[in-house]
Amino acid sequence: MFRTNGRGIEARFGEGEWILRLALVAMLMIGSRSAAGESPKGPARTSGASDGAAEPRTEAEVSALRAEVAGRLQAIGAPATSQAQPGGTGAGVTATVALPKTAEAAGSSVDAKIRELLQERLKLLEEYGKELAAFEKASHPEPSPEKQADEARTEWARLQALLSQAGAHPEVLLPQAFRDSGKPAVSVEMKEAIQAAASDRKESQAKLEAIRAEAAEVEVRQNAHRAERDKLFQAVAAMKARGSERTESAAESAPAPGWASPTATAALQKLAHERKENADWKARLSAARLRAVEAQIALETRMAGVREWMIQVAQAQEQVASRTLALLQSRYSDAAEQQERALKARAAAEEKAALRADNPLERYRARRRAELLDLEAQVVKHEQALATSPSPSLPEQLALADRAGHDFERVKQLLDDGRVSRLDAIRLNNDFRRIGPERDQLMRKEMAIAEARLQFYEDSLTSVEIELLQDSLHDRFELELLKESLPPSRWAEGQGLLDDLERDHRGLLDRHRKVLERLCDETERTLDQVARRLAILDEEYAFIRTHIFWVRDREPIGASTLRQAMREAKHLARALVRLAREATATRSWGRSSPEFFAAAIAAIGLPIGLIRVRRLVRARLAREMGVQENSIR
């Protein structure tokens, strides 16, 4: 193997210097492994990776493997020492092996590489555990799609039965506040029940929209999952191919016996083993991700029927909530109108009693009671408007404004991608034609009604607040008038009656002010939504008008267009040739057609007629001016 001369042997050793360094590294690692309590027979088998161990299937197994790798990392961080050498300095005596500086540097380099590999393996194990959890969650969801479908089917059947029963007996939808006949016609419980029903309808509508939006996004998610599955499948296949090639290349490149020392071979095997472990874990991680994605696709497929049932349940809930709210508002409106009529009737009776009464106190009491009853009737009417929310109402205009915003976003998305079909162009034209009439109707109807209501409520609120501020002045004035018509012995009785009536009056004014404040606030918010919808329509109109001329709604220029242009050019050339022939034919110059005579008469007679009409109008104006001047004189 070696040449006999010293120069040849020196050159040969120069070429094999890396074998000596690897041998020193192996000696260092054997010493550190002996100090850490490891067996020096070969590299440790961790993670059960590539040499036949079972792949972990539970999070507990993955956690155990992570703990094992973390322990190895701590062991590698210990100082490199060797055990006592028998036959050296004596039996049972521990001696430190003094290695060359090159060996120490090589050993620290190997430890650093192994540490990096183990840290990478910890990350791979952590991601592997996450993929196992995702696979388990997608494979065994709680509750299962079948159970969710059964629950949704049962709830839908219950709601349908309730709707059918409500068609024959609407009272089943009424809460207790509307069923108790012993309570007054309009009570606080009725108002609270209407507010709760309005909140339920809003929640049901929001839930229905959310479910529909989620159902629309499912197909997008499924396509993304399928694309990810295909990529992962290709990655797993490529990793398997690289793994087999790596095994074959490792077998071919294994050092022959006698070429390297056993310690160098052990170091090479350990590094190769750790790298192979990480490569195997990368392949397992990709396979686990593939299984998790496939389980998610299967779960989405199973959930398709559940989403259909959920949409039907949400629609039924929205129907029940809307019907309940409409029924409550109708009953409340009837009760409020009945109470308002009763209050007006009592006010009219009190006015008649005031006219018939001879006693000043009775006359004053009847007159003030009539005023208070009229005021209470106005309060009940405004409370009815607040509870029933007549059109245009805030929820209605809010929904319309949101829908206008969604339509505008759809139009912008339609033009942003740059691919507009003929059907898209037709829809764009229809939207462009729709916006004008819708905007005019919005200005004439919703905007005008909301502005008129807001002005009326603000004026009423101002009157109520002024009346509250001047209440004490009115009290003193009424007391002075009452004292003039009563003997001093009845002044105390008149003062008590006045105090009672003014207390009731102030209570009604406070109640009226609160109702008017809420009406002003709701009407103002309604007007803001109308204005927002109007602004959206204006912006959409300007956007479509700007881009509609760049939208192609016909076939592009091609062979058919060129053929049509050639045919039209031929027709035009023939017409021009015919006109030129008629102009150069001298035999037709002396002929005059009836159309020529009619045009000549019109050209001559029309100016003459206009001149005569102008003179007549000027003479008529002169006569009228003369008549006016004579009348002024």
Q: Which amino acid is at 133?
A: A
Tokens of 539: 């912006």
Q: Report angle CA 365, 368, 372 to the nearest 5 degrees.
A: 130
Q: Identify the segments of the chain with pLDDT beneath 70.
A: 1-55, 77-110, 180-185, 243-268, 417-420, 471-475, 479, 548-557, 583, 586-593, 625-633
Q: What is the pLDDT of residue 530?
A: 93
Token readout for 515 is 């109702």
Predicted local distance difference test score (pLDDT) of residue 199: 86
Owner of token pair 């309590």: 37
536-566 b/e with 16+ CB inside 10 Å = b? bbeebbeebeeeeeeeeeeeeeeeeeeeeee
Q: Are 271 and 109 in contact, with CB atoms under 8 Å apart?
A: no
Give the pLDDT score at 454: 92
DSSP 171: G
87: left (phi over 0), alpha (psi -120 to 50) or beta: left
Instruction: Decide: 347 and 374 in contact? Cβ < 8 Å.
Output: yes
The DSSP string of 382-402 is HHHHHHH-PSSPHHHHHHHHH
Of the candidates 431, 437, 439, 385, the one whose C-alpha atom is nearest the C-alpha of residue 409 is: 431
Q: Do residues 131 and 285 make contact, with C-beta atoms less than 8 angstroms apart?
A: yes
Q: What is the pLDDT of residue 518?
A: 92
Angle, alpha carbons 24-27-28 (nearest 5°) = 90
- The closest alpha carbon to 545, from 392, 452, 432, 411, belongs to 432
SS3 state at 618: helix
∠ Cα 532 535 540 (to 5°): 125
* Cis? peptide before 262, omega within 30° of 0: no
Instruction: Judge contact between 215 and 307, C-beta under 8 A.
Output: yes
Rounded to the nearest 5 degrees, what angle is found at the Cα of 367, between the Cα atoms of 364 and 369? 105
Instruction: Give the DSSP per-residue string, 38-93.
Output: --TTS----TT-SSSPPPP-SHHHHHHHHHHHHHHHHHHTS----PPPTTSS-TT-
Evaluate whether 336 touches 383 at the Cβ level (below 8 Å).
Answer: yes
What integer pLDDT is reported at residue 245 of this predicted model? 57
CB–CB of 363/486 below 8 Å?
Answer: no
Residues whose CB is less than 8 angstroms from the CB of residue 298 and which lie 6 or more positions away in sequence, other chains included = 138
Round to whole Å and give the CA distance between 336 and 181: 15
Q: Are 364 and 237 in contact (CB under 8 A)?
A: no
Q: pLDDT value at position 621?
A: 79
306: nearest Cα among 211, 401, 421: 211
Long-range contacts of 294-297 (CB under 8 A, 24+ apart): 294/229, 295/134, 295/135, 295/138, 295/139, 296/134, 296/138, 296/225, 297/222, 297/225, 297/226, 297/229
* Contact assessment for residue 516 and residue 460, using Cβ atoms and an 8 Å cutoff: yes
Q: What is the pLDDT of residue 417?
A: 62
Report the distance separating Cα 199 and Cα 328, nearest Å: 13
- In the chain, where the domains are located: 6-86+97-142, 389-493+505-554
- Side-chain-side CA neighbours of 551 within 13 Å: the count stands at 25
Per-residue pLDDT at 356 = 83
How far apart, in whole angstroms, are the C-alpha atoms of residue 397 and residue 199?
Answer: 16
Q: For residues 287 and 237, give the distance between their C-alpha atoms in angstroms, rounded to a whole number.
A: 9
Predicted confidence at residue 110, as pLDDT, reads: 66
Task: Give one word for 255, left, alpha or beta, with left for phi > 0 and alpha for psi -120 to 50.
Answer: beta
What is the rounded distance in angstroms from the CA atom of residue 86 to the CA atom of residue 119?
37
Q: Which two tokens stand for residue 51?
A: 């040499």
Per DSSP, the three-state class of 175 is coil
Between the alpha carbon of residue 359 and those of residues 363, 481, 486, the distances in Å are: 6, 14, 9
| Predicted local distance difference test score (pLDDT) of residue 501 | 83
Q: How far apart are CA 76 and CA 37, in angstroms?
A: 12
Q: How many residues does the chain have?
A: 633
